[in-house]
Structure 1
């Protein structure tokens, strides 16, 4: 049993590290998502679950917050032993939010504020499918500075 402890810890660390890397890549200001068009996110991860106008002055500083919720019930390893409930590998809930410039729909920031971390690695593991789609299938639509992103919220 002691011989398996170190290899198990190493494999576990590598698996959770892969999910964490993608999530950090999505938040990176020099990455693919920051500066892209919000329509690209809608095309890759779907219609947002929530939209909220942060500033609505009809000026150049208007912003909107867009949120996608994702629930993943599949875990690579799910153990229940007495009082220990251990889920490894992505079974949980994830929320991804994007702050968007109203005029043109440029993504200014991406965050994962409500990723639940009640199990080891799940805060990143649950977000991994959402982040994968956003990063790998981003069509890089040009930004039209006259397009009103508030149209996603129904004005």
Structure 2
């Protein structure tokens, strides 16, 4: 029985070059991540030279944690995500129920507007959102971000 009859394919040099190029590009993509991992666990003097005998340390993580109030940042993130999630779940559930169960004039047009609103990137609205939050007097608060 030949190799081709079993179901295996034979690949040429072109396919091997494609595979080698893909692996090379993948390695180039991962290289900065490996460098970041290396420098995170080694002292600063070993960030520019590679040595297998370089001492491992967690001092960089301690310095980063002490440089900013990360515990407060984490609490702010949890509060923000909780607020946004609860508000979205309530509003989306009510809207979905209304669209699914009730027949009312303009339902299709209103549903199309909801879909158009989903297509607008939030980055486009950031200046107008800032002006609105300033006018409401809640600028620089968690509620304004949510």
**Do these two structures clear the TM 0.5 threshold for a shared fold by scoring above it?**
no
Higher Cα Rg, which structure: 2
Normalising by the residue count of structure 1, what TM-score does the alignment of the two structures yield? 0.26
TM-score w.r.t. structure 2 length?
Answer: 0.28
- Relative to its length, the structure with more strand (as a share) is 1
Higher relative contact order (CA 8 A, sep 6+): 1
